[in-house]
Amino acid sequence: MTSANDKALNFLFQIIIAIQLIAVAILYANVQFPDPPPQKISSLTGLPVWMSASSGFTAINETVGLIEYIAAFLTGALAMYCIYIKLHNRQPVSSPVETSPVDGQGSAENIVWTKMLFDTIVTGYIIVTFIALITSVIFEVGKLWSAFGIYHNVLELCLAAALLQNGTFNYIMGLITTVVYSISAVAITSQLDWYWDATFFKFQGLILDFLLPVLFIRVATQTHRQRQNESQPLLGGSFVNSSSLAPHSQLVCLVVAATVHLIGNLSNVLGNNQTIPSIIFVSSYFIAFPMYTIYVHQAVKSRTKYVLPDTTFYNFVLLVLWATSASAITILISFYI
């Protein structure tokens, strides 16, 4: 029954992707791209930023700015806590928690020096998000800021890659991915004129924002299925019995965090920098990143693991097509609003 359900869901997913691709074609064929509005100039750097020039600065604008400061402070505090708990609970190389076989199966885990634990990637994600927030407050969001903000997207890419590679991410592969993706995205952004530079940056970020909730849901679903069944490849690159699987709450933290962050970014893109959507966007950080921090806290304390679904190359292509077309639809709809 499960296999039949999986085939039905996979077929439905392919239909959804086909519909989305058709929607992209229709929206693009009928959209009328407006002339770019006058661009705001940063009072600090004197450089243009990704915001329309306004005639004045209202109390509501001040409220949005205050929320941004608070969000940056909160994310910084969460990043410090994650670093603290990771260091405080760090196991020596000889510790059986990190180097001995799990439940007597397979060879010893070799994850201390060669691979990053998934909670370490999440910790890095929180840290670079703080950097992106604090630099956006200082420089305002624009071409200059993109050199910092891109690492928020790079760590999202690392999270996605880890979920597709048994929950680990090789240091060398991580470095190559970081360098190639960040340089490419920032280079393209720097060469595009206003309004397209901001549009491209939002587009590439939304692809990852759409992808993460789906990947987390897949892990949650597979873990639930296997909780009482045989061992499967897990986060950490090993095999464990279902009795050591993580509680449902840890997976809920990841799903909720990624979903709320997606909703916030959708509000920001579709709202075109209007006040209420901007407040929703910034406020999403008050939910998403505390949830990620709760996950890190639980993962470090419990060292439990999760079952990963088998992702074939074909399924990987489908996921990327879905996320890319969903991002394109969102961007195109923003031109209709």
**What is the SS3 string spanning 299-326?**
HHHHCCECECCCCCHHHHHHHHHHHHHH
Residue 246 is predicted with a pLDDT of: 64
Distance CA 246, CA 220 (A): 10
pTM of the model: 0.86
- Token representation of residue 176: 């190559």
The secondary structure of residue 168, as a DSSP letter, is: -
Secondary structure class of 169 (helix, strand, coil)? strand
- Judged against a pLDDT cut of 80, whether residue 236 lies above it is answered with no
Yes or no: say if 232 and 239 are a contact pair by the CB < 8 Å rule. Answer: yes
Residue 58 is predicted with a pLDDT of: 57
Domain positions in the chain? 58-336
Q: Which CATH number is 58-336 given?
A: 1.20.1070
Confidence bin at 110 (pLDDT 50/70/90) = very low
Residue 83 is predicted with a pLDDT of: 92
pLDDT averaged over the chain? 83
- Judged against a pLDDT cut of 60, whether residue 264 lies above it is answered with yes
- Token representation of residue 268: 């920001």
- Its sign, for the CA torsion 154, 157, 158, 159, is positive
Least confident of 74-88, 117-131, 256-270, 300-314: 300-314
What pLDDT digit, counting tens, does each position of 184-234 carry? 999 999 999 999 999 999 999 999 999 999 999 998 888 877 775 655 455
